[in-house]
Amino acid sequence: MKTPVKIAVSGAAGQISYALLFRIIAGDLLGPDQPVSLSLLEVPQAVGNLEGVAMELADCAAPLLQDVSCHSDPERAFEGADLVFLVGAQPRGPGMERRDLMEVNAGIFSVQGRALNAAARRTVKVLVVGNPVNTNALITRANAPDLPPENFAAMTRLDHNRAVSQLAARTGRRIREVEGVIIWGNHSTTQYPDIRHATIGGQPALELVGHAWYEQTFIGTIQHRGAEVIRVRGKSSAASGANAALEHMRDWVFGLPAGRWTSMAVCSDGSYGIEPGLMFSYPVEIREGRWRIVQGLAIDDFSRERIRASEGEILRERDMVRHLLP
């Protein structure tokens, strides 16, 4: 029997977690022979509901589930955690931008960053899902100075998956045939879904879909997809967000085949001219549990302008939360 991996999830009584936790215990994250120990965090007023989620987890009689604990104290929840999903934060409603959540959500991540710093394993992988993700991840990382910056990421995998799905649908090809998509920048309407390096069935994606559709339809569709889901469904995306979180963490743990990349918002080292230290979505390769920003991609004027615009927005968000950055 393998040693259980300890997985902490915040916002564990919310809708994303409800779509995430049951897939984790089914082995979709770490495989069919890796036991997991779940440590669930909620605000005190939701711990009652959380106990109900824990009852349902137990009622699955899932062979991989070693134990479940429920917490309202982040330090207790993150104690010894190997993998952490920071989902707990308010979602936006119709007509809001994700940055409108800054005031209510940002403070959560300074508290939880400090708790991770104090209690999590030094090798912990922390994925921020709560919006606005890039800036919340920056706050978390800044408040956990004893943990390496590469232990933190913010989620742009949902945007990446949306882009892959739209390209497959447009060309009538299979999802697996789409490779090399990149989400640059912020998980917001300034994000830049770049298909200049993408291929579909080995052919250049841009040639297959055409510049007009790419520039006039595709980019906006991806940038506004979250708001469109809220408009149509009446609630912020949940199962697709949980799926993206699971895939992000699974790839981070197990790595990607050589020559393949995905999109993750990670700590900039200045690659592609982005201000060092910002949590910026880049193409990343992953080997042996470590991501590395893909280097040497040609960036034309069209791409550069959009990448810069998204960087500008993240810099403005950083200015809004300076008081939370020690």
Considering the complex, state which of residue 91 and residue 283 has its C-beta at the smaller distance from ligand LMR: 91
Contacts of 105 (CB under 8 A, 6+ apart): 89, 90, 130, 131, 132, 136
In this structure, the strands spanning 182-184 and 192-194 are antiparallel
Q: Which amino acid is at 60?
A: C
Q: Are 49 and 55 spatial neighbours (Cβ–Cβ below 8 Å)?
A: no
And the tokens for 223? 């940038």
Q: Does 171 bind ligand NAD (CB under 6 A)?
A: no
Residue 258 CB, nearest approach to ligand NAD (Å): 27
Tally Cβ neighbours within 10 Å of residue 123: 11
Q: Does 187 bind ligand NAD (CB under 6 A)?
A: yes
Site string for ligand LMR, 100-139 (x = CB under 6 A): -------------------------------x--------
Minimum CB distance to ligand LMR, residue 310 (Å)? 15
42 binds ligand NAD (CB under 6 A): yes
Task: Return the number of the residue (199 or 236) whose C-beta is nearest ligand NAD.
Answer: 236
Side-chain-facing half-sphere of 133: CA atoms under 13 Å: 30
Task: Restricting to residues 229-248, name those near ligand LMR by CB under 6 A.
Answer: 229, 236-237, 241
Interface residue with ligand NAD among 70, 126, 181, 238 (CB under 6 A) is: 238
Distance of alpha carbon 200 from alpha carbon 180, whole angstroms: 9
170 binds ligand LMR (CB under 6 A): no
**β-bridge pairing 125-128 and 36-41:** unpaired
Sheet holding 199-200, edge to edge: 178-179, 199-200, 203-204
Q: Is 306 in the site for ligand NAD (CB under 6 A)?
A: no
For the CB of residue 16, give the shortest distance to ligand LMR in the complex, in Å: 9
**Contact of 22 with 57, CB cutoff 8 Å:** yes
Q: Which does residue 42 touch among ligand NAD, ligand LMR, none (CB within 5 to 8 A, set by kind)?
A: ligand NAD
Q: Give the angle 180-183-185 at the CA atoms, nearest 5°.
A: 145
Quick one: what does residue 229 bind among ligand LMR, ligand NAD, none, with the CB cut-off 5 to 8 Å set by partner type? ligand LMR
- Any residues with CB less than 8 A from the CB of 184 and at least 6 apart, and which? 191, 192, 194, 263, 272, 280, 281, 282, 303, 306, 307, 310
Query: Whose Cβ is closer to ligand LMR: residue 117's or residue 189's?
Result: 189
Kindly state whether residue 263 participates in binding ligand LMR, applying the rule CB under 6 A.
Answer: no
From 187, 211, 248, 323, the catalytic residue: 187
Provide the minimum distance between the beta carbon of 100 and ligand LMR in the complex, in angstroms, as a whole number. 10
155 interacts with ligand NAD by CB under 6 A = yes
CA distance 209 to 94: 31
**Is 82:119 a contact under the CB 8 Å cutoff?**
no
**Which among ligand LMR, ligand NAD, none contacts residue 41 (Cβ within 5 to 8 A by kind)?**
ligand NAD
Q: Which is nearer to ligand LMR, 100 or 269 (CB)?
A: 100
Cα gap 78→39, rounded to integer Å? 7
- The DSSP element (H or E) to which 254 belongs, if any, is helix 239-254
User: From the list ligand NAD, ligand LMR, none, which binds 5 (C-beta under 5 to 8 Å, kind-based)?
Assistant: none
Q: Is 130 in the site for ligand NAD (CB under 6 A)?
A: yes
Q: Does 229 bind ligand NAD (CB under 6 A)?
A: no
- What is the size of the binding site for ligand NAD (CB under 6 A)? 28
Residue 71 known to be catalytic: no
By CB under 6 A, name the one of 11, 38, 50, 92 that touches ligand LMR: 92
Please give the residue ranges that form the binding site for ligand LMR (CB under 6 A).
91-92, 98, 131, 158, 226-227, 229, 236-237, 241
